[in-house]
């Protein structure tokens, strides 16, 4: 079997995250929907990604914009119907792409019929599908655990005199994965969507889903300082990353293994030593535990170079790497590092070894859009105001053209559109051969064409200060990637360490095919890919 065929689609391909509320509105209510996504699939295909991951589209009271699910096996009317969904699966597949859904196993909505039953009485058959505890001996919450969205993680329920646990909003009660019936019901949710043709899942807060069986108090975090989210006052020792979580993941994986070529990528915000444990044993863990280091680390070449090296070194033998530059919970990359470096970041994301995940709109260089106080939507911002933690700025509508509402909707959109949408939009940037969109497309094309770039080996190339350099190789095909993280020109001298070759792509989208003779002069904020003579 050829090496190409030995690798699965989720190893070779690029995942594109769509936040459905903000991609395209087809029915004119100011909120994106499935018909809207269908109408834009030609763009996604043109861009050149391989899989589409949709943030939640299930029925939901939308307290946390779909991450509070009241029916795991249906579609919220805001987004469309199951028929629309089936059509989307068909069309995504027709375009040669894969479809990945968000699976939210840690919590449901408090409006889910399961929770409504659970809270009815202490002996209700669904009582232990959620996490109920008596008050502490002197009264008050059972322990000191804090909600990620501010305040205590325990909500008292008058009707039955107990508290329930919610790691996020009180409208998002945590499910009890230690309960076998709950577990089976949730695994059947996976089967429901797999049977409909879904190719995989992004699993929400997977490191949260099992809690300490003794409900021990968390200790204070000595590194906490005001400015961080309030829950960071405590180390999350006992409410997250419990050893038993891996048994649950194995059960999920068993379900995926019942089908061909399906995968799951797990959301895990943990230090890299802990992150890699989520690969589990071969065939047992998540295929890809999301690696958020490019989001979390300062944008310095040396820091990133060290992080790549460390991550590569920690991967288990069967562990396939992955990289993420942005998502719906973090500031846009262009805002964080600036427009010029966003192009360098694009080249890094799409040339590193491992599966890249690209957040919609980052290919346009979209930046955080300021949200006036009266338009704030995100419950995180509402509960914990003033710390800049709100996620609305990175969730604003995709600008398609310079028409009304940037072609996103016929109506005023649910979040404001960026002020630069008259020029930073798909139509205008498709027409500009030097735009960041053109760069993304070119990078995706090159990555797809060159097996060295999508499945090849990785080797660091020593570099100094603002430069990051590495080689990718597959058989005779060899590439050097050199990235200038600085705003000044810089030289990479690889005399004696690299053969000659030709520059095949610069982030500036000019001077292609120039001969490279071991001294690479990079302009300010420039990255280049060099095809080396082998």
Residues that bind ligand NOJ (CB under 6 A): 64, 67, 104, 168, 204-205, 267, 328-329
Give the number of C-alpha atoms closer than 13 A to the C-alpha of residue 342, restricted to the C-beta side: 23
- CA dist list (Å): 427 to 29, 407, 472, 474: 23, 10, 33, 36
Supply 319's token pair.
């562990």
Give the H or E element holding residue 39: helix 34-39
Q: Closest CB to ligand NOJ among 64 and 525? A: 64
Of 293, 387, 386, the closest CA to residue 345 belongs to 293
What does each C-alpha distance from 184 to 177, 179, 348, 354, 424 come to in angstroms? 9, 9, 41, 32, 47
The rounded radius of gyration (Å) of the Cα atoms in the chain is 24
Catalytic residue among 102, 199, 204, 362: 204
Q: Which one of 42, 184, 258, 510 is the catalytic residue?
A: 258
In this structure, the strands spanning 355-359 and 501-506 are: unpaired
- The rounded distance, in Å, linking the Cα atoms of 125 and 443 is 54
Ramachandran region, residue 504 (left: φ > 0; alpha: ψ -120 to 50; beta: rest): alpha
| Residue 47: closest CA among 13, 80, 74, 91 | 13
Q: How far apart are CA 332 and CA 391, in angstroms?
A: 10
31 vs 15: CA distance, rounded Å: 23
- Comparing CB distances to ligand NOJ, the nearer of 23 and 168 is 168
At 145, list the tokens: 């655990």
Strands 457-461 and 288-289, by their bridges, are unpaired
Residues contacting 469, CB < 8 A, separation 6+: 460, 461, 462, 463, 480, 481, 482, 483, 492, 494
Question: How far apart are the C-alpha atoms of 250 and 283, rounded to whole Å?
Answer: 8
Nearer of residues 145 and 516 to ligand NOJ, judged by Cβ: 145
204 catalytic residue (yes or no) = yes
Residue closest to ligand NOJ when measured from CB atoms: 67
Which DSSP string do the residues of 126-184 spell out, in sequence order? TGGGB-EEPPPTTSS-SS--B-TTSSBSEEEETTTTEEEE-SS-TTSPBB-TTSHHHHH
Q: Which is nearer to ligand NOJ, 267 or 450 (CB)?
A: 267
Q: Rank residues 112 and 328 by Cβ distance to ligand NOJ and give the closer one.
A: 328
- Asked about 309 being catalytic, the answer comes back as no
Euclidean distance between CA atoms 57 and 54, whole angstroms: 7
How many Cβ atoms from other residues are within 10 Å of residue 179's Cβ?
16
Which residue, 67 or 114, has its beta carbon nearer to ligand NOJ? 67
528 - beta bridge partners?
A: 482, 506
CA 357 – CA 51 distance, rounded (Å) = 9
Q: Tell me if 361 sits within 8 A of 398, measured CB to CB.
A: yes
- Identity of the residue, 205 or 498, whose beta carbon is nearer to ligand NOJ in the bound complex: 205
Are 453 and 460 contacting, i.e. CB atoms less than 8 angstroms apart? no
Query: 119 or 208, CB closer to ligand NOJ?
Result: 208
Question: Cβ of residue 267: shortest distance to ligand NOJ, in angstroms?
Answer: 6
Enumerate the β-bridge partners of residue 493.
Answer: 519
User: Minimum distance between the CB of residue 149 and ligand NOJ, rounded to whole angstroms?
Assistant: 8
Mapping DSSP to helix (H, G, I), strand (E, B) and coil, where does residue 289 land? strand
By the 8 A CB rule, do 167 and 239 touch? yes
Asked whether 153 and 166 are in contact (CB, 8 A), the reply is yes
* Residue nearer to ligand NOJ on the CB measure, 361 or 407: 361
Min. distance of Cβ 108 from ligand NOJ in angstroms? 10
CA distance 105 to 101: 12
Min separation Cβ 21 and ligand NOJ, Å = 12
**168 or 323: CB nearest ligand NOJ:** 168
Q: What amino acid positions are annotated as catalytic residues?
A: 204, 258
């Amino acid at each position: 079997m050829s090496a190409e065929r030995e690798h699965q689609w989720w190893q070779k391909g690029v995942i594109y995250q769509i936040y459905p509320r903000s991609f395209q509105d087809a029915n004119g209510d100011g909120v994106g929907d499935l018909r809207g996504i269908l109408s834009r699939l030609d763009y996604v295909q043109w861009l050149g990604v391989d899989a589409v991951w949709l943030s939640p589209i299930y029925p939901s009271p939308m307290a946390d914009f779909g991450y509070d699910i009241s029916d795991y096996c249906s579609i919220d009317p805001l987004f469309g119907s199951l028929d629309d969904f089936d059509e989307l699966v068909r069309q995504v597949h027709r375009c040669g792409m894969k479809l990945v859904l968000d699976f939210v196993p840690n919590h449901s909505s408090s409006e889910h019929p399961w929770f409504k039953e659970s809270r009815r009485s202490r002996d209700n058959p669904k009582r232990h599908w959620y996490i109920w505890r008596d008050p502490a001996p002197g009264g008050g919450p059972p322990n000191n655990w804090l909600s990620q969205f501010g305040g205590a993680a325990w909500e008292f329920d008058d009707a039955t005199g107990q508290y329930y646990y919610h790691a996020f909003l009180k409208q998002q009660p945590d499910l009890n994965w230690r309960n076998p019936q709950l577990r089976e019901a949730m695994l059947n949710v996976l089967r429901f969507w797999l049977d409909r043709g879904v190719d995989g899942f992004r699993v929400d807060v997977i490191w949260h889903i099992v809690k300490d069986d003794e409900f021990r108090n968390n200790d204070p975090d000595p590194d906490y300082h005001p400015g961080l989210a309030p829950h960071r006052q405590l180390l999350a020792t006992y409410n997250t990353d419990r050893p038993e979580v891996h048994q649950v993941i194995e059960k999920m994986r068993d379900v995926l293994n019942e089908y061909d070529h399906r995968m799951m990528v797990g959301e895990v915000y943990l230090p890299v030593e802990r992150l890699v444990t989520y690969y589990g044993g071969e065939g047992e863990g998540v295929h890809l535990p999301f690696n958020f280091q490019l989001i979390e680390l300062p944008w310095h070449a040396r820091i990133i170079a060290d992080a790549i090296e460390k991550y590569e070194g920690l991967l288990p033998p069967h562990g396939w790497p992955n990289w993420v530059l942005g998502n719906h919970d973090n500031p846009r990359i262009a805002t964080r590092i600036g427009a010029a470096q966003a192009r360098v970041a694009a080249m890094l994301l799409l040339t590193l070894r491992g599966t890249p995940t690209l957040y919609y709109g980052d290919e346009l260089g979209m930046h955080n859009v300021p949200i006036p106080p009266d338009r704030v939507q995100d419950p995180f911002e509402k509960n914990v105001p003033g710390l800049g933690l709100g996620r609305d700025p990175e969730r604003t509508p995709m600008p398609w053209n310079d028409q009304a509402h940037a072609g996103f909707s016929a109506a005023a959109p649910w979040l404001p559109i960026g002020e630069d949408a008259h020029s930073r939009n798909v139509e205008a940037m498709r027409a500009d051969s030097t735009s960041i969109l053109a760069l993304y497309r070119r990078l995706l094309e090159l990555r797809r064409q060159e097996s060295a770039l999508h499945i090849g080996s990785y080797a660091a190339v020593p570099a100094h200060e603002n430069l990051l350099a590495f080689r990718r190789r597959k058989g005779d095909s060899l590439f050097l990637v050199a990235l200038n993280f600085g705003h000044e020109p810089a030289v990479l001298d690889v005399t004696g360490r690299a053969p000659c070759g030709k520059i095949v792509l610069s982030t500036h989208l000019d001077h292609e095919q120039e001969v490279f003779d071991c001294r690479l002069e990079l302009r300010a904020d420039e990255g280049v890919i060099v095809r080396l003579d082998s």
